[in-house]
Amino acid sequence: MIVLGIETSCDETACALVDANRQVLAEALLSQIDEHRPYLGVVPEIAARAHISHLDGLVRACMRQAGLDFDAIDAVAATAGPGLIGGVIVGLLTAKGIALATGKPLVAVNHLEGHALSPRLSHGLPFPYLLLLVSGGHCQLLVVEDVGRYRRLGTTIDDAVGEAFDKTAKLLGLGYPGGPAVERAAGTGRPGRFDLPRPMLGRPGADFSFSGLKTAVRQALAGLPAPSEQDRRDLAAAFQEAVADVLADRAANAIAIFRARHPGGRHLVLAGGVAANMRLRERLAEVARAGGLELIAPPPALCTDNAAMIAWAGLEHLRLGRRDGLDAPARARWPLDPTAPPAAFAGVKA
């Protein structure tokens, strides 16, 4: 079984071919970082236009790379949300066109489910496992029970952690994209110099909050009359350490809940773009070990937005007999756990 995946939920235009043996047969991706760098953030209209301009060519390149034609694929899967609605529409309509023209099944994939199932592509991970999803638009702790079965244990009550990294990088003048820029600066910074808050630390449950931490960074910077490069590095290191403390504390609570409900579960998965941060990986590996779990982080190419995870999620649904009609909607928001209470700005509001 071979599935063509398409991902256009934000600022990456991507397609990939994946088979049932967990092999990525071909990939094609176009980053839009240069287009958005002048604005220090993603501009939805620019992103949608770039998807329109490049997606068809990337699909052709992907098929050529694999040496396949459309007769050889079994289905086409595309991100149908959540994400920037203009980009989601571009990718989903392209997938619908391919499905209609070739007679192949369509699978409309939840972008978050792509992240949730990515360790099954990279590591063949069995269910159930605990997932910490950290990215520019999402910060959630979920139990991945099966394909299509997710239980949210915690989410951010205000901002996503990736957004906090981006805003901190902007405040400190570190450049774009913000996450890698903060990590680079923090590498030569002194995290103990600035006393930043740890929102929600020590509280019951597994929810997050990062708005106050961003405010504290801004206030600390304002208290420096003429910030030097070392000042900025120290503040970046203090911010990164505060985030690590918060994620570790929240994850520890979630692990206790997970182990009580699923005593056979053995893994904590770290996924999403922020999962590339090595300091966060170190702290979460410690927390996982202390809780009797092993930390699993898919390769960086599967943590950031990519089409291989979308193809794999589509394949997982397809072999369970699930497919979608050509009227499948594009969604700006699409919760993985529809039974969980909605939380604004976390990618889970109905």
Where residue 67 falls (left for φ over 0; alpha for ψ -120 to 50; beta otherwise) is: left
Average pLDDT over residues 328-333: 95
Of 349, 350, 347, give the one whose Cα is nearest residue 112: 347
Burial 327-337 (b: 16+ CB within 10 A, else e): ebebbeebbbb
Question: Any idea which residue has 């981006």 for tokens?
Answer: 166
pTM: 0.92
Q: How is the chain split among helix, strand and coil, in percent rounded to 5?
A: 45, 20, 35
Q: Which residue has the higher pLDDT, 179 or 44?
A: 179
- Dist CA 184 CA 271 (whole Å): 20
- Dist CA 97 CA 104 (whole Å): 10
Residue 296 bridge partners (DSSP): 269
End-to-end CA, the chain: 33
Confidence class for position 347, pLDDT limits 50, 70, 90: very low
Average pLDDT over residues 165-173: 95
Per-residue pLDDT at 348 exceeds 50: no
Asked if residue 341 has a cis previous peptide bond (ω within 30° of 0), the answer is: no
Per-residue pLDDT at 187 exceeds 80: yes
Which residues, 6 or more positions from 73, have their beta carbon under 8 angstroms from its beta carbon?
A: 2, 3, 4, 17, 102, 104
> Which pair of structure tokens corresponds to residue 258?
């997970």
Mean pLDDT, the chain, as a whole number? 94
- Dist CA 143 CA 96 (whole Å): 31
To the nearest whole percent, how much of the chain has pLDDT over 90? 87
Q: Where are the alpha helices (DSSP H) in 152-296?
A: 161-172, 178-186, 211-222, 229-261, 278-290
Domains and CATH numbers, the chain: 2-117+302-318 (3.30.420.40), 125-297 (3.30.420.40)
Average pLDDT over residues 60-81: 97
